Every structure is written in C-alpha cells, then in structure tokens.
Amino acid sequence: MTEAEWQVVRASLPVPAWLEGRGGRPEGYCHRVMLDAVRYVVDNGVKWANLPKDFPPYRRVHAFARRWQATGLLAELHDRLRDRVRVKEGRSPDPTAAIVDSQSVRAAANVPCSTSGWDGGKKVGGRKRHLAVDCLGLVLVVLVTAASVQDRDAAVPLLERLRKLYFSIRLVWADGGYAGRLVDWAAGKLGLTVEIVKRSDTSGFVVLPRRWVVERTLSWLMRSRRLVRDYETLPAMHEAMVLWSMTMLMAAVWPDAAGTLSSHVSRPHRPEGAEHVRPELCRPPPGRQPLHPRTHSLHPRRSRLPPQLHRDLLRPQPTRGFRPGEHRQDLLVLRREHLHPDAPDMMRHDRARHRGPHRPVRPR
C-alpha cells in the first residue's frame, strides 16, 4: 500500500492489548507488512505458500488473517473505513436503507461438498455470496452459503444480521427473487420494509433503479482475483476475503479528498477520436505524488544493477548444452559478480562441492 493509504489504515487500526499495557505477547511483525501480505493474496489470488520472500513466512501471514477474522478485528477495521468514507461523501455513518443481492461463483477442488452446491438458474457449481450494501455500494453485511440455497432462504439470516448490526435501517431494496413470504416476515419480525424492484418489460439492457448499486459492488469484488473463484475451505474465510477487498478499495479512495467514490472505481470516459491513455498514471490526482510508471509505487524500486545488466538478465539465454537450470546459475553469478567481487569463486566452490563437476548433455 502507498504511504497515503497507510496513513488512512493506520488511523483506523485496532490497538493491540500489549501496546496499551493490558498484557499479551508482543507481535513479531509490523502490521503494515502483514497487511501488505494479506492484500497481496487477495489482489493477486496466489496461494498462501506462494507469497514472495519479501513478506513474512506464509504460515504467520495466514495465522494473522485467520486471527483477525475470528476475533472481529477485520470487521472493525472495515466498519471504521466505511464510516469515514460515508462521512466524506456527506452522509451519516449510520445507514437507513440497504440493497441486497447475491452472486454465484465456482468453487475450487479443495472446497468441501458440504458447503457447496449447484445453482440451477445460473448453471454454476460452487458457493453463493449474499451482500447487503448501502446507497453508496459499501458492504454492510456479507453471507456465504452453498450455491443451491435460494435467495429468499438465505435472506433470513442475512436480514437478521443486518438488523442486529444496524438499528437505523428501515428500507431494503431487492429483486424479484426475494418476493413472497419474505416481505411479510421481514415487516412483522424485523420491522424492515422490503421493496421489490421488478424488471422492466423493455428489451435490451436497462439500468434498474437502486439495483444497479449492488450490481456495481459485485463487479468491484471481481477485481480481486481471490474472489473470482472460491478457494476458501471455510465460508467464513470467504466472507473475510470480501471484507479485505473492500478495505483495499476504501483505503484507496479516502486519501484523495478531491475525488469521489464513483470517480475512482468507475472506468474513465474517453471521448471519440481521443488517444487511449491511462490517466491515473499520466496525470496524478491533485495533492498526491506522481506514481512511478513501472512499479506503481510512491517509492520506485532501486536496483543495484546497472541498466546493461538488467538487459542481459531479461535477454533470452541460448541453450549451450548445459543441464536444465544451468543458465539460471549463470544469471545468479552475473548478479552476484556485480555485488561482490569474490562471488564467482564462491559460486564455483559451492557448485563443485555440492553438485559435482559439470557434465555436458550427451547428444542423441
């Protein structure tokens, strides 16, 4: 995350008990490093074991994410960021209306059959995530069930959780899948008015009032590769991944006071005949430092290799009869030769001691 995003997240982070003198074991890693590691997994969709070596060990990172999900620290961080974004947009922190909808995603092979199913309408086998968002599209409640669960059946625990967390909500918009006895049950049991937004009779694509907000939120979640397919064994971890994705979005929106939520997450408009450029890289928002065009960071990566060696490393190496992987060692020698004068001798000594003498490939 950038320095501006970290200042936003840092102000909303829950304070550990050991920092306030209330006991507990001090943590061994910085919160910023751990948050960057979890965000890397959510954004790129890699396995926990495939985290780059620049981050802490993946078992520590996974335990950190699991602990924050189980203790409610992630939900607290998400709610604080959402309240700040709502205040920035000129709204009250307590929402009074919500929009609900669901989205079916395919499940990976590690997802157990007990928590997955088949969605006959969408022809998707996996899980279904149910969202309740506010009028800005920010997530209020998320619930993950099997794809075979109907929307009106999953809406019962979803609305119960919504009523328990937000007493100020009085109106809920939904599509035709939530019509029926759910409307009467929500009015009599929870005191919520469920208004069904029906599809128009016109052919073609039509933007439906209020329903487009939650559809836009579902498209925001698909930007995180971890959420394109369900890889989580537990449904609770999938719900946590949704919250992590939204924290990334809200932390990126908040530092720029000149923009709004829609201007950051929507695709920029390009007039007809204009050249296709990336305005977020060419023209930085006012009040922020220009981003580096290659690393997309406020602190460009400083390499200790000269540009000529960079080009040599990126150039394809010919096969000179070496064993598989031998050219990789040559590149490592090239890199270490620049960093340490005695690196080639050290590498030759290690190769002769551990891997034996060089043997050329026998021609066939």
R_g of the chain, CA atoms, integer Å: 26
CB 107 within 8 A of CB 126: yes
pTM: 0.69
Residue whose pair of structure tokens reads 């924290």 in the numeric block: 247
- Ramachandran region of residue 277, left (φ > 0), alpha (ψ -120 to 50) or beta? beta
Cα distances (Å, whole numbers) of residue 126 to 9, 44, 117, 216, 229: 33, 21, 5, 22, 9
pLDDT score recorded for residue 223: 93
- CA torsion sign for 250, 56, 303, 40 is negative
Report the share of the chain in percent with pLDDT over 90: 51
| Whether the Cβ atoms of residue 167 and residue 150 lie closer than 8 Å to each other | no
Which has the minimum average pLDDT: 19-28, 88-97, 328-337? Answer: 328-337
pLDDT tens sequence across 138-197: 999 999 999 999 999 999 999 999 999 999 999 999 998 899 899 999 999 999 999 998
Instruction: Indicate the DSSP class of residue 227.
Output: G
3-state secondary structure of 41: helix
Question: Is 214 within 8 Å of 142 (Cβ atoms)?
Answer: no
Q: Indicate the average pLDDT of the chain.
A: 76
| Lowest mean pLDDT segment, chosen from 15-29, 69-83, 238-252, 270-284 | 270-284
Q: Taking the mean position of all CA atoms in its chain, how far away is CA 296?
A: 17
User: Do the beta carbons of residue 312 and residue 338 sit within 8 Å?
Assistant: no
- What are the pLDDT digits (tens) for 352-363? 444 444 455 555
Burial grade of 55 (CB within 10 A; 0-12, 13-18, 19 or more): middle
Q: What is the pLDDT of residues 77-88, one digit of tens each?
A: 999 999 999 999
98-148 residue pLDDT tens? 999 999 999 999 999 999 999 988 899 999 999 999 999 999 999 999 999
